[in-house]
Amino acid sequence: MNITTSTWTELLQQFFPLFTSPGSQIFSRLMVAWVLCRARRTVTGMLPFADPLGLRAHDAYHRLSLP
């Protein structure tokens, strides 16, 4: 495994206990999208990077919140 990938994964996994299992997956996707998005980083602007295949409803990304 690439050292950069493993470090990024380890960093994101520190936040997983704050979310449910589906929530941690959404959080992880949004963080990757935040890095990849070059335009204004709104949730709507990051969706093409977070979920390019549209597997999840877009409102799930808007509803993500800390418990």
Contact indicator for 33, 12 with CB cutoff of 8 Å: no
- pTM for the model: 0.82
pLDDT in the model for residue 1: 57
Q: Can you give the pLDDT at residue 65?
A: 72
pLDDT (0 to 100) of residue 27: 93
Side chain identity, residue 35:
V
User: CA–CA separation, 51 vs 21, rounded Å?
Assistant: 17
Q: What is the mean pLDDT of each run of 10 residues along the chain (67 residues)?
A: 79 92 92 91 91 91 78
Beta-carbon contacts of residue 12 (< 8 Å; ≥ 6 apart): 27, 28, 31
